Structure 1
Amino acid sequence: MTPYEHYEVEDFMQDEFFIEWVLHPSENSNAFWSGWLMHNPDRQPVLERARAIVSSITVKPVARELADTEVRSIIDHVRLNGFKTEQPVPTIKILFRTGWFQAAAVILICFTAALLIYRQVDVKQVLSQTNNEFIQVSNQSNQSKLVRMNDGSLAVLHPASVLRYPSRFNGSSRNVYLSGEAFFEVHKNPRKPFLVHSQNMITRVLGTSFTVRAFKDENAFKVIVNTGKVLVYADKQQAHKINAKSVTLLPNQEVTFDHNQIVLKKDTLQTPLLLSKEVATDKFTFNNAPLSQIIARLNEAYAIHIVYDHEKLGNQTLTASLSDLPLDEKVKLICKAINAQCSFDGGQIKILNP
């Protein structure tokens, strides 16, 4: 457990790594703090308050140096009288000079004034913009939930699991954060890899289908591949490096990650997965099959419940090959064939009567 779990606003404002992230965010620091927030959602209000304050602070150099007596006078004034203002102050401009004492004094002035202004400044707009950057889906039900991301990728989020992802995938990679278990069907994009962060384990793909199981209270995490190729890293920093050490998984292979010993163990599954190509070609090719049979096959493969009117639609028949399609496209094709409508709202898949 990192000390950040126990940080209050004042602690974050004195943390160099945190301040660097707020003022000069990078892909790695964004990934770290987003992952930390996903695993510590109860600390988000504290972090966001500190982030809003740090964002409002700028340091502006001036030609004139401050005398030691002036610096001490400013510190005493702030301590005794506070920082008075009738209007919310969006930016705190600090004057500084070289020298250890002046540098330390500036930090103290900045920190003290910011804490005082924090109680007066309305940071709702800042927090709203920050909160809108990520979407967090928590599945507290007893059924899996479908999550559709803006790049076309899908996740089937299992019960007692949380998935956090950006509203839009900007930058050179697509980063999502999982606590629990989910099946992913990733939209292929060779120029923008898809990374699933699960505490210290990272799963990296370009476009494939796989399952990640990473519950916080379990000693071992697991990645199982259905289609394509997956790279698994036991170190967060390694996933962003070229030629970094990783375990490569192909269809019907899995890796177990012991996060206590930081060890990855690779195995081949004894029974091929239903969605792996050699099985899917047979299992998802239907010839005049009733809808009830097709839905049962989808439920089995994806571990997700599809809602439909069994009495009215169960005997509708379909002839088609669905093996190469992602889940949502499978459902759309089925609905088109039987002249029905489909809905993906609220994490549920529904086939509606024509």
Structure 2
Amino acid sequence: MYNYIIYRPEELAADPSFRNWKLKGLEEDTHFWNEWVSLHPEKQSDIDKATLLLEAVFETFDQISEADARYEVRQIAAQLSESQMTQDSSHRLVSFSNNLYKLAAVVLLLLLSAGAFLTWKNGQLKPTHADYMAHTEAFEGLLTEIVNTTTTDTTLLFSDSSRVILRAGSRISFQALFSGTNREVFLEGEAEFEVQKNPEKPFLVYSGDLITRVLGTRFRVKQSADGGEIEVEVKTGQVSVSRQGAGSEEGKKYPREIILKPNQQVVYRIKENQFLRGLSETPQPLPEANLQGLMNFKGLPIALVFERLQQAYGIEILYDKDLMKNCFLTASFTDEPLLEKMDLITRTIDATFAEVDGQLVVNSRGCP
């Protein structure tokens, strides 16, 4: 199962299951998406935009392979993000695969005429470097700055023994000795942090419009190249993510903070002032989890099965305990991804599941 909560309209349109629902009305896909939309009403706008895109190009989609369809739609979106596009219509031409020119032309025309609902650089999005400079200018002369100009990751060790992996093309500023009441770090780009615990001195990462607060954990922060999105993903521990100025009159219109637990992530869309919380792309077992001992089930009640999965991955699984009290499972798993495990388990007991707001929700009619 894919983490559709963070999909953009163009990614939804490129998804085979979504297209089967909208273009072919296949029963299984229709059932899944109707249920998914009811659980995620905040995604209705993206669903509508993806549908509009498909309606304009459905004939062409039927003439190309799944791989080509997914590739071309994403290429179109990526090329729309290029800063070379100008007000002169003669410069708006984008090169596409010749055999799929019809698809590209129709989609491009649709996006331009509809006001281009895909996110690309425009005057309403803050450049990432301007955000970074706004954060750091008040500390002029007090910060150490590291810029990763290489093509590989760079690992840094802070004075408190916390560690950061700075991705290629990213930059970070910080006080060498963390002398204030907080350990403050200013990030442009992407980095993964492993923070030493210190309840008396929280660790704060400023990136774009977001502040990520932690006491001790491992997490990742990524700011998109155009500054339009900021993504925070937690590997271990727990963090809170908030919009800067959340206490102001303007900030009161938005969530004060989002709490993230292991294997959860949030994508903050700056233009829409929207937080989208979901599971990590590939949830990983917690460091202390013993998968070999936890993943062998012999006639085990489903409640204990879900309890073991929660222990292993730190992800909450919601289900009706009374309704499923007669459900049992005999199975053995090794290194299968979590969502693959959940798919096999729910199929075995004639149930389904969905990811909702960073949790797994199981739907079942019960077991005889």
TM value normalised by structure 2 = 0.39
Which of the two has higher C-alpha Rg?
Answer: 1
